[in-house]
Structure formats: C-alpha cells, structure tokens
Structure 1
C-alpha cells in the first residue's frame, strides 16, 4: 500500500463517506476489517483511532466487551464541511465581499496559533500578511466554531469588507494562493483518473470487479480527491482563471464515484452489519 494513504487519513475518509450515514458509530473490529482491504494492520488502526480520540475528532463507548467509535460534534462538523466541498458540482458564486480574520495570539499560546493556521488553510483562507487571513467565501459559521473550540475570542477580530485597492481582486488572489499550481494538480488528476475510470467501467460491465475491489477503489478515489481540500481554497468562479480545471475534475470524480458507489456500499454494509450482529448476540 502506498504510504500516502496513511491509516488516520483513511479512517477520516471512511467516516465521511460511510460511517456517518450509518448511525455514526462503528465497532473497532469492523473498522480493522475494512482497513485490512487497504493493507493497514490492527495495530496501526488502533493507534490511529486513539490519536483521533485524543484530538477530539472521535469518542469511544464500550458496549459489553466491545469498543465503538463515533464522531464528536467537531468531527461531524468537519465531515459535513468536507462533504459539501468534495461533492460540489461547480464553483460557488460570489457576493463581492471579502472576509478578513486578524489575530494577536500571545507567544505563550503559540500552539493555539499553529492549530488555528492549519484550520484556516483547510477552510480555504489565504495569508495576506502576518496574522491576517482572507477568504471570499461566507465562512462565518466555521470561524465562530474555531473561536469557540480554541477559546481565542479575545485575540481575534473578524471583518466583512470590500477591496478598494490598490490592485485588483485577481491580483489579491494571486498574492494569497498559488492557483496555477492547484490547476496543474487538477490537470494531473484528470489525466490519471480519466484512464482509470474507463478501465474500471469496462471491468464492472464485464463482471470482472468484485464488490471488495469497488470498495477499495471508491475509498481511494475519495481519499485522493479529498487532498484538494488542503490546497484548493474553493474560490468563486468570478475569481478563477479562464482555463480553470477544478470543475472538470469534480465532474470526473462524480462520474467515477457513481460508477463504484453501489457495489462499494454493499461491501461496506456486509462488514458493518457483521459487527452489529456480533454485538447484538453478546
């Protein structure tokens, strides 16, 4: 298994695409079984889910002698936000306003500053200048959640404003994000996955692809596309370059996902239900 598909990241993918739609909780045995399909062993799964528990993304519950893990409220909110961006059909429209976040977090709370930076990048904010982040998207809800989560209200100022110069909105985008690099990565995704899509479509039509294989390919597809959440700020179409490939990549992803989804879901359900049945019998 390619090292890029690390255990913790794959668990996030499974929660986002499957587990949260099935009552939000999964027996650790079922999770281990599912991740075996990707080459992850029991030890790495237990270590990864324990780390996610400590980070506040999941919570554990004992039922008899079995451990179940479910998303916390923070975990649910993150999955919901990620899902909206992954499965969007096209770039959002713009209200012409810029959202600006400025913080003055003291040095002794530096760890909070580092965590906040990671969260802002993930949500699509760009760094305009030291401790000043901007986005054209209406992310007020996300900001309020972050301020509450890290208890940093006294250090943060948040504005909604218009850009009056001295350059253009397009120049502002170029300053804050490397959109050309993101576009190039979308080009690479299209090149690689358009070929894989044709090959797998042919296999499925001939009955040469098992449900387990569809599950693996579907999860890896989502996992790979999810990486764009960390580099694509999800800019409105008014601020994107003329030859933007993000929407084409999203269409390819949606078609490929639809091809694999039904057999993949049947495989997931077979493993997930096995954990439920064992639990109910004990």
Structure 2
C-alpha cells in the first residue's frame, strides 16, 4: 500500500514525504503507526527509499531504484494499448551457482515482474522489447558471468501461442481480470453517482482510488503484457484496463485534493514544530553560549 501511495501520489510531489503525513494517510485504511514505521523501515533496508532528517523529523524519499520502479509501473498501468510485436523473442539464460541462491531467487522475481515467463528452468523469455530492463538487472545483481541474453526468432515446430501457453497460464490471468471487472464495474457506477451528487467525501475518494490502484497493480506481477497477436480472442485485459481508467478519472480530483491537504498540513506542522524547537528557551540559551 505504501508503494501505491508513492507511485500514485508522493512520486509526483517531489518523491518525499514526512513520516507523520504518511502515517496520517495510512490511517485512512486502518493501519497503525507502528506497522507503518516497520514497513517503511523494511522498504529502506531493501533500497527503495531513504530517510532525510530535518531537526527531529524524518522524511522518506524514493531512491533512484525506487524512482525507476515507479516509472516502469506507471508506464504499464496507464498504457493505452500494447505495442505492435516485432516477431522477436527476448531470451535470458542463466546458470547461477547455489552459493548465490538468494541473488538467483531475486533475479527470477524481477524477471517475472518485468513480464518474462519461464520456458524451461533457468530460461526466461518475453516477446516485449525489454533489453534495457535486462541490462539493468544484470548490472544490479552483478551476474554478468552467469547469464546469456539473446534476441531471436522462433522457427517452430509449434506456434507462438503454444510457446505462450508453456510460459504463462492465460486462463488463470483472464479469470482474475473477470473478478476485477465484476467487482469494480459495480463500484464505479455507485461512486460515480455519489460524486456527481456531492455525496462522497474527498477522503473516501482517496481511499477508493488508492485501493483501485493497489488492486490493479497486482496484475503487473501476473500479466506479462503480451502483444495482441499472442492473446486469446476472449482476453479481458483491455476491458479491465478501460474500466480502471474510467474509474480512476472519476476519483482523481477529489482524491488528489484530500492527499494535498494532508501532505501540506503535515509539512506545515513539521516546519512549525521545527521552528518551535529552535525557539525553545534552552535552544536560545545554547545559541547565546555558542555566540
């Protein structure tokens, strides 16, 4: 959920937020301060965010890796249509030793998130132009000596759809899209009517928009974003994407208004408390001694 807030809100406000404001926003979803501090601490240890101190206040901002992940996610979430396929397959083959098992597992997760599928053990393929993402992963995990990367064409004996079926369970992914559509089609109609009548608070719009993003972004972990020519005729991904965009637009303005109020209020409060600290008699007295 914190990743969702960074990607959909904080990333567009300089990528930094006071921990007090983050706690206030997450309280809208029923999370307590202790859990939020623990989560942001884990994100920091994993290299997604870093902390900056201003007085006794902590501000968390996205690292370069975090910014890149957010940009990649946004491009996939808000893409209007799939790119035409060039007919080529990107293939990464690796042989990472057991003593580097943790790196091997992380690499697999990153490949799957990027849209690669497992053709065979330690051989991952994608029809999408992911050359830069692959080079970034190789560099990030320092596995140059253990991997080979190819861009090639498939010469049979099967069809491209047969290769896809071996790498991804499109029927299961389609079923997830069906569930998403059934749930959010109803919510979209109800909330649109409420907003038009002025019966929905900004805070409620913020909660619903964040939940919408949070649920939809889960498809980034299962849907490889295949070209249309490789998808089945009854594919529901485009329908789900259109529903997501329509519902998002309805919630966008009041949700952003609520976020901005909390974000600005938190910054003002942090600055005010910092000012008061330096105006404290002890600080004034200490400053006089220093002078």
Identify the TM-score tier after normalising by the shorter chain.
over 0.9
Which has more radius of gyration?
Answer: 2
Aligned to 1:24: 15
Find the residue that maps to 1:105 and give its secondary structure.
coil
2:260 aligns with one of 251, 269, 279:
269
Aligned to 1:250: 241
Q: Deviations over 1:5-40 (max 9, x none)?
A: xxxxx0000000000100110000000000000000
- Cα deviation for residue 279 of structure 1 reads 3.1
1:228 aligns with one of 216, 219, 225:
219
Measured on the aligned residues, the alpha-carbon RMSD in Å equals 0.8
Alpha-carbon distance in structure 1 between the residues aligned to 2:193 and 2:205: 13
Aligned to 1:3: none
1:46 aligns with one of 37, 46, 62:
37
Aligned to 2:49: 58
Gaps of 5+ in 2: 275-291
Contact 1:91–1:247 (Cα < 8 Å) also in 2: no
Aligned to 2:278: none
Matched, 1:87 2:88: no
Aligned to 1:192: 183
Alpha-carbon distance in structure 2 between the residues aligned to 1:279 and 1:156: 48
- Cα deviation for residue 213 of structure 1 reads 0.2
Aligned to 1:278: 269
Find the residue that maps to 1:221 and give its secondary structure.
helix
1:118 aligns with one of 85, 109, 115:
109
Aligned to 1:72: 63
Q: Give TM-score, length-normalised by structure 2.
A: 0.92
The 5-angstrom pairing of residues 175-214 of structure 1 reads 175-214=166-205
Contact 1:24–1:71 (Cα < 8 Å) also in 2: yes
Alpha-carbon distance in structure 1 between the residues aligned to 2:209 and 2:84: 29
Q: Deviations over 1:38-90 (max 9, x none)?
A: 00000000000000000001111101110010111111111111101111122
- Cα deviation for residue 91 of structure 1 reads 2.4
- Cα deviation for residue 278 of structure 1 reads 2.3
Alpha-carbon distance in structure 1 between the residues aligned to 2:76 and 2:125: 18
How many residues are matched?
273
Aligned to 2:284: none
Gaps of 5+ in 1: 1-9
Q: Give TM-score, length-normalised by structure 1.
A: 0.95
Aligned to 2:120: 129
Aligned to 1:158: 149
